[in-house]
Amino acid sequence: MIERFNDGRDWFFERRFGLFVHWGLYALPGWHEQTQWRQNVARSDYVKLAERFNPVNYDPDAWLDLVESAGMEYLCLTTKHHDGFCLWDTKCTDFNVMRSPYGKDLVGMLAAACHRRGVKLCLYYSVADWHHPNYPNEGRHHELPGPEPGDEPNWPKYIEFLKAQIRELCTNYGELGGIWWDMNVPGQVDPSISAMIRELQPNAIVNDRGFDQGDYGTPERHIPEGRAFEKRTEACQSLGVHSWGYKHDEDYFSDKFMMQSLDRILAMGGNYLLNVGPKADGTIGEQETRALRRLGEWYGKVKESFAASPAPGLTSSADVLLTQLGRNVYVHLFRDPEATGVVLTNFGALPKKAMLLNTGQELEVRLDRGARMWHQPEYLRIRGLPVNELLDEVMVVKLEFEGGPV
Ligand code: GLC
């Protein structure tokens, strides 16, 4: 069983699906959020992007409309990515949105809309910084190869800056759902930073990429082994294959792939943070918009199965994941079923009813020793799956029991 916090951070267990947003100057070239590093752009050139950053079509409510149609209940925005550009009115550096032609606090606008609409807001913050003169760029993981002219590498001073920025974020934008660290220098431990967040934002969860082990793990772009998480987990993935930030020639995962991935993580008891990279004008592209709406359509139909807890012990079948809530068991067919019937081996209880959540249709269930697997103990057969009709969705079957499933 995953341990709860037993405090305000438990929102994490109620709101399981969130939108990740990677947005910053890098949306202008539209290649990758790490353009500066991966394409060796000189800092003196990169900073010029700020002179052109003017997202006149930025409308936080339009983002939140999309959050709602996807069925998501929280959002995490990159307030400062590795390039060091800050999307809020920070007093700690001039490299921020207030100095761009746009000149408005993007974080503040989003926070106001989130609070108004009851969407939890989490803030991403990169420790690695390719702009701040005190960040010691030494060519380590996600760092510039070395200091640039004028830099004064000084870790304690950088940490002072970082803490002052986190203090701003934790003070000026109302209640936060969490702080999402990224790219700390390996081995840099400092419990005072989480302590400050706790003090200022007691309901904020803190991920495991910062200065201590944090509240939860963050597997990125993959599905960990196993059938149920033992620790608090929030997986992250992007709709785009190549980049987290806006990419003009992005390739996108299929709806089916996304449903399979989302279904697996949620059925294993994790949360899911799904990313989009808005364009430089502030809008979310057509393909991402369409995909989120489509995912939401499916998610809305099967969502009750994720309020249930992982029940990996109920069957030995490897092709399904089960979740259970009281007398109901949900069968997640995250791998395309090969046939019109599936079997749950070692599952010896007969439900009174089986329903395909996707369509509402009732399915036939029987306990059997079958002809093909005649030597097995009795197992459950679920029959009549519309495998040739319902090709574009992950199916979830609800089994309702009179007494209980075991
Ligand atoms: C990777 C990417 C980084 C992105 C992060 C999101 O670490 O390198 O750019 O922000 O994933 O999890």
pLDDT 10s digits, 221-278: 999 999 999 999 999 999 999 999 999 999 999 999 999 999 999 999 999 999 999 9
Residues 299 and 320 reside in one and the same domain: no
Q: How far apart are CA 276 and CA 376, in angstroms?
A: 47
Q: Is any ligand 1 atom within 6 A of the Cβ of residue 244?
A: yes
Query: Which of 318, 338, 344, 326 has the alpha carbon at shortest distance from 397?
Result: 344
Residues 326 and 352 reside in one and the same domain: yes
Q: How far apart are CA 18 and CA 71, in angstroms?
A: 9
Q: How far apart are CA 315 and CA 304, in angstroms?
A: 20
- Spacing of C-alpha 25 from chain mean position: 22
332: its two tokens: 């997640």
The CA radius of gyration of the chain, in Å to the nearest whole number, is 23
Give me ligand 1 centre to Cα 147, in Å. 22
CATH code (residue 359): 2.60.40.1180
Helix 60-70 with 106-117: angle, nearest 10 deg: 50
Residues 293 and 313 reside in one and the same domain: no
Q: Is any ligand 1 atom within 6 A of the Cβ of residue 76?
A: no
Give the closest residue (by CA) to ligand 1 atom 4.
Answer: 244
Q: What is the pLDDT of residues 123-145, one digit of tens each?
A: 999 999 999 999 999 999 899 99
- Spacing of C-alpha 261 from chain mean position: 11
Residues 262 and 334 reside in one and the same domain: no
Q: Is any ligand 1 atom within 6 A of the Cβ of residue 130?
A: no
Q: Which of 306, 329, 363 delimits the end of a domain?
A: 306
pTM summary value:
0.97
Q: What is the pLDDT of residues 327-372, one digit of tens each?
A: 999 999 999 999 999 999 989 899 999 999 999 999 999 999 877 7
Residue 3 lies in a domain: no
| Under 8 Å between Cβ of 385 and 340 | yes
Q: How far apart are CA 210 and CA 192, in angstroms?
A: 11
Residue 406 lies in a domain: no
Give me ligand 1 centre to Cα 218, in Å. 11
Three-state DSSP class for residue 30: coil
Instruction: Give CA separation, 58 vs 39, 79, 169, 297, in Å.
Output: 27, 15, 20, 25
Three-state DSSP class for residue 91: coil
Residues 289 and 340 reside in one and the same domain: no
Q: Is any ligand 1 atom within 6 A of the Cβ of residue 37?
A: no
Q: Is any ligand 1 atom within 6 A of the Cβ of residue 221?
A: no
